[in-house]
C-alpha cells in the first residue's frame, strides 16, 4: 500500500519542481552559449539526423532569447563593415562549418546571412541552431535576415518540418523556430551603401524607408512587398515581369539603376538563386547574387561563394567547394522522401 506523502514531502517536491522550472526558463549564460556553439563546431559526424542537439525545452529557451534581440532590430538592419556576406546555406551543416573555416569563426569576424538556413539539406536543425546560438551570444557580430524558406508553408514541404518531427518526435521545435522566423529582419544595409534583401526588389517599394514601415512580424504573405523582397529575381529583360516561381517579380537593369540611384546605393547583394560559380554580377554590376550551398541538394555540382567587405568597401569574393565527404556523417544520413522541385 502506497502511503500518502507527508505535507513536508509535498512541500519539498513543489520547491524542487519550481526550482527546475525556473532553471529551464532562465536565459542562457554566456558560458552555456559558448558550450553549445563549441560543441556544434566540434560536431563532425552524425548530425541531427541521428540525435537531437538540444532538448525541446532548451530550444524554446534559445528561441525566446533570440526573439528579444530580433524584435529590437529594424526591418532593414544597419550593418557596419568589415563584414562577410553569405547567401543560402539550406541545411548543409558540414558545408556551413567549412564556410566558417574559410571565412573565420565569430566573434573574430562579422557575418551577414541572407536567409534560407533550412530545407533541402539533411541538417537544417543543426544549421539554424548554430546560427541562432551565435546570434544570441554575439548579437552585434551576427546578422540574420529572412529568406523565403523561413516560413511555415515552405518548411512543411521542403524538409525542415519533417526533420523536426523525426528528431524530436513532435512538431513543437518546428513551431518554436517558425515563430522565431517572423521576427527576422526583412533585409540589411551595409554602411548605407549596399542593400541586402534575400530575393530582390518590389514595385511597391521605391525607397528603403518604405521597407522600414512594413509590419514584418507575420508569416510571409503570398503577395505584396514582403513577398517580393523574399521571392523576386533580377532579369535580363527591362522593367517588371511575371516571376516563373509563382511569387514575386522579375526586375530589369532599369529598375535596379533607379532603385540604387534613389537610395544612394553602390549595389545590391542578394541570394535566392542557384549559381554554378557561387556568385554572379548582373545589371552592369548593380546586383550581385551569392549562393553559399556548394553542391546544392548534394547533386547540383555547383561551387559556393561568400563576399568579404572591408572598412573601405573593397570587395573580395571567395569561392569554395563542399566539405570533404568523410566529414558528412554519411552513416547518419536519414532516409528522406523525395522532395518536390521548384524553380531553383
What whole-number distance in Å separates Cα of residue 47 and Cα of residue 125?
9
96-99 long-range contacts (CB < 8 A, ≥24 apart) are 96/126, 96/127, 96/130, 96/131, 97/41, 97/323, 97/327, 98/294, 98/320, 98/322, 98/323, 99/292, 99/304, 99/306, 99/320
Q: Measure Cα distances from 231 to 10, 70, 186, 227, 235 in Å.
A: 57, 22, 12, 6, 13
What is the residue-wise DSSP string for 56-93? HHHHHHHHHHHHHHHTTS-SEEEEPSSEEEE-B-TT-H
* All three cell numbers of 2: 502506497
Is 210 an annotated catalytic residue?
Answer: no
Given 90, 149, 168, 198, the catalytic residue: 149
Task: Note the residue count of the chain.
Answer: 344
Catalytically annotated residues? 149
Amino acid at each position: 500500500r502506497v502511503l500518502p506523502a507527508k505535507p513536508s514531502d509535498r512541500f519539498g517536491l513543489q520547491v524542487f519542481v519550481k526550482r527546475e522550472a525556473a532553471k529551464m526558463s532562465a536565459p542562457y549564460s554566456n558560458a552555456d552559449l559558448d558550450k553549445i556553439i563549441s560543441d556544434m563546431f566540434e560536431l563532425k559526424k552524425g548530425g541531427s539526423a541521428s540525435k537531437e542537439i538540444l532538448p525541446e525545452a532548451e530550444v524554446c529557451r534559445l528561441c525566446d532569447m533570440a526573439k528579444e534581440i530580433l524584435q529590437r532590430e529594424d526591418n532593414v538592419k544597419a550593418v557596419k563593415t568589415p563584414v562577410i556576406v553569405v547567401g543560402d546555406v539550406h541545411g548543409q551543416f558540414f558545408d556551413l562549418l567549412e564556410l566558417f573555416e574559410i571565412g573565420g569563426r565569430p566573434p573574430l569576424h562579422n557575418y551577414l546571412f541572407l536567409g534560407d538556413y533550412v530545407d533541402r539539406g539533411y541538417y537544417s536543425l543543426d544549421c539554424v541552431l548554430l546560427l541562432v546560438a551565435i546570434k544570441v551570444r554575439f548579437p552585434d557580430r551576427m546578422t540574420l535576415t529572412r529568406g523565403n524558406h523561413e516560413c511555415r508553408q515552405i518548411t512543411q514541404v521542403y524538409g525542415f518540418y519533417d526533420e523536426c518531427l523525426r528528431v524530436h518526435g513532435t512538431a513543437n521545435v518546428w513551431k518554436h523556430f517558425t515563430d522565431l522566423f517572423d521576427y527576422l529582419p526583412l533585409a540589411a544595409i551595409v554602411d548605407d551603401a549596399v542593400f541586402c534583401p534575400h530575393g530582390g526588389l518590389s514595385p511597391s517599394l521605391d525607397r528603403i524607408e518604405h521597407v522600414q514601415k512594413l509590419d514584418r512580424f507575420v508569416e510571409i504573405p503570398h503577395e505584396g512587398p514582403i513577398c517580393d523582397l523574399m521571392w523576386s529575381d533580377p532579369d535580363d529583360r527591362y522593367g517588371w515581369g511575371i516571376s516563373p516561381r509563382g511569387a514575386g517579380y522579375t526586375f530589369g537593369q532599369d529598375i535596379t539603376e533607379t532603385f540604387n540611384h534613389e537610395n544612394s546605393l553602390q549595389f545590391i547583394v542578394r541570394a535566392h538563386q542557384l549559381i554554378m560559380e557561387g556568385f554572379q554580377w548582373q545589371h552592369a554590376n548593380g546586383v550581385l547574387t551569392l549562393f553559399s550551398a556548394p553542391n546544392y541538394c548534394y547533386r547540383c555540382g555547383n561551387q559556393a561563394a561568400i563576399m568579404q567587405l572591408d572598412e573601405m568597401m573593397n570587395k573580395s569574393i571567395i569561392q569554395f567547394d563542399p566539405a570533404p565527404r568523410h566529414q558528412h556523417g554519411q552513416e547518419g544520413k536519414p532516409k528522406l522522401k523525395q522532395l518536390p522541385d521548384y524553380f531553383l
